[in-house]
Structure 1
Amino acid sequence: MKKLTLTCLTVSLLFTAGTVLADAEKSIEYRQSVFNVTKWHMDPLGGMAKGELAYDADAALHHARQVNAMSHMAEEGFAEGTEGGDAKADIWSNWDQFSGGMEKFQQVSAELVSAAEVGTLEALRPAVGEMGKTCKGCHDNFRD
């Protein structure tokens, strides 16, 4: 009976460990996807702000809205126990700072939407610059 109990416990622990590992891998994939989508939408905004792409007010507003949507999804991929990918372990040991950076991402991306709603390149440029600084600040601290 003890052998059966021990075997069941071992199988249960192995199954749980495998599930946690799978969840960690899914979380890493999720957050990398969120940031890839964010980059997808930031690239044309940056191009417009730098004069490398023709300014298009409708496209700018679309891209800004998508960046803002991603800002509300990003932190979800950083649950405890999901270390890995390009994320530094400092995220989990400095959670308040990291979480504050995610809040700033949401705030600055909302300001990006507001700037894009104005419908001028002059309004968009500084907001794109601020978004870039926000991204860089978090990358410098929390990304390998």
Structure 2
Amino acid sequence: MRKLAMSMLASVAFVSAGHVMADADASIEYRQSIYKAVKWHMDPLGAMARGDKAFDADAALHHARQVAALSYMPLEGFGEGTQGGGAKPEIWNNFEQFSAGMERFQEHAAELVAAAEKGELQALRPAVGQLGQTCRACHDNFRERQ
């Protein structure tokens, strides 16, 4: 009887560990997908700000709004036990600092929308630059170089 109980306990532990791993993999995929979508929308904004692409006020506003909406999504993909996927362990060791960086991302994304609403490249450029600096700071502190 004892062998059966130990065998069952080991099976439950193995299945539970597999479930946690599946959740971690799904969390990593979730957050990476969001960041890819952010990049999708930031690339044309950056190109407009640099002058590599003609300024289009409607497109700028669309992309800015999408970045702002996406800015609220990634944090839930960084739960306990979801390490990996290019994320440094410092995220979980300094989660308060990481969360503050995510709040700055949200704030600067909102400022990007406000700038895009003006419909002028001169207003958009500094907002794109500020958001880019915010992203870069977080990458420097919390993302493995790839």
TM-score of the pair, normalised by structure 1: 0.98
After superposition, residues 29-44 of structure 1 pair within 5 angstroms as: 29-44=29-44
Alpha-carbon distance in 1 for matches of 2:37, 2:76: 15
Residue type of the alignment partner of 2:118:
V
How far apart, in 1, do the equivalents of 2:65 and 2:13 lie? 44
Q: Aligned partners of 2:27 and 2:43: how far apart in 1?
A: 24
Residue type at the aligned position of 1:24: A
1:107 corresponds to: 107
Distance in 1 between residues matched to 2:118 and 2:2, nearest whole Å: 72
- 5+ long unaligned stretches in structure 2: none
Distance 1:140 1:120 in 2: 31
Shift of 1:69: 1.0
Per the TM alignment, residue 3 of structure 1 is displaced from its structure 2 partner at its CA by: 1.6
- 1:136 partner letter: R
Q: What value does the CA root-mean-square deviation take over the aligned residues?
A: 0.6
Give the superposition deviation at 1:55: 0.4
Instruction: Map 1:1-144 to 2 at 5 A.
Output: 1-144=1-144
The one-character-per-residue Cα deviations of 1:107-128 (angstroms, maximum 9, x if unpaired) are 0000001110111101100000
- In 2, the alpha carbon distance for the partners of 1:126 and 1:135 equals 14
In the superposition, the TM-score normalised over structure 2's length comes to 0.97
Identical columns (%): 62
Stretches of structure 1 that go unaligned for 5 or more consecutive residues are none
Q: 1:137 offset after TM fit, Å? A: 0.4
Structure 1 counterpart of 2:95, which letter? Answer: W
Aligned equivalents of 2:2, 2:107: Cα separation in 1 = 57
- After the TM superposition, which parts of structure 1 deviate over 6 Å for at least 4 consecutive aligned residues? none
Output one character per residue of 1:79-138: Cα deviation in whole Å (capped at 9) or x when no partner: 111000110000000011000000000000000011101111011000000010000000
